[in-house]
Amino acid sequence: MDIPISLPDVPMSLASWGSVDEHFDEIRQFVAATGDADGLTMTAISLLMSRDSAARALGVDLLGELLRLRLIDVSDFLEVTAGSVSDVDEDVRWAAAVSLRHGADVAIADALIKLAQDPDSDVRFQAVVGLPAACTGEDEIGDEVLEALIAAAQDSAPEVREWAIFGIAVQSDVDTPRIRQVLTAALDDWATAEDARAGLKRRGIPI
């Protein structure tokens, strides 16, 4: 990466937002308008070192957009955002979980597995949604990711359980006695029953 002579100014208004969709639309528009991936990367890294949690979250969001556009390597993203996964502020950890979903690489698995155990249910939700993207070279869910999804299927938050079972039932083709047991148990949960039923049918089990 070339070190730019001057870094782009990032308006901190980007850190104050209403809806999630509006926020990420603004992030996308800002990155597109700036057109300086190296400069934005350096600026985002400087935001990660801020004492202000909103600035740190914004730094992660900017890096996540660069990752989505493949303007930063997954390995570089993981290196510079390693501290964000354990940040004291849940908004920063939430931003990390969302951004990691753009990785679609087995390398993101460890970070998402950690975030799937986060104290904050919103963070866990974002991590669980992203976990199936952490695939092996054969595009199948790896054992560690599958274990994390099975654990998340017992989460206290219904939306986390729902996406965990969806990942196991629909986004994975793994078919073992244990998986069938997990899906069968999920039939008794209103949040997961529909996806569990679909998953069992996909595996040739009549319901």
Segment 119-127 mean pLDDT = 98
**Widest CA span in the chain:** 64
Residue 5 has pLDDT above 80, yes or no: no
- Cβ pair 116, 132 in contact under 8 A: no
Mark 125-147 as b/e (b = at least 16 C-beta within 10 Å): bbbbbbbbbbbeeeeebbeebbe
Average pLDDT over residues 175-197: 97
Is the pLDDT score of 122 beyond 90? Answer: yes
Q: Report the pLDDT value the prediction gives residue 139, as an integer from 0 to 100.
A: 52
pTM of the model: 0.91
Q: What is the pLDDT of residue 140?
A: 63
Residue 135 pairs in a beta bridge with 141
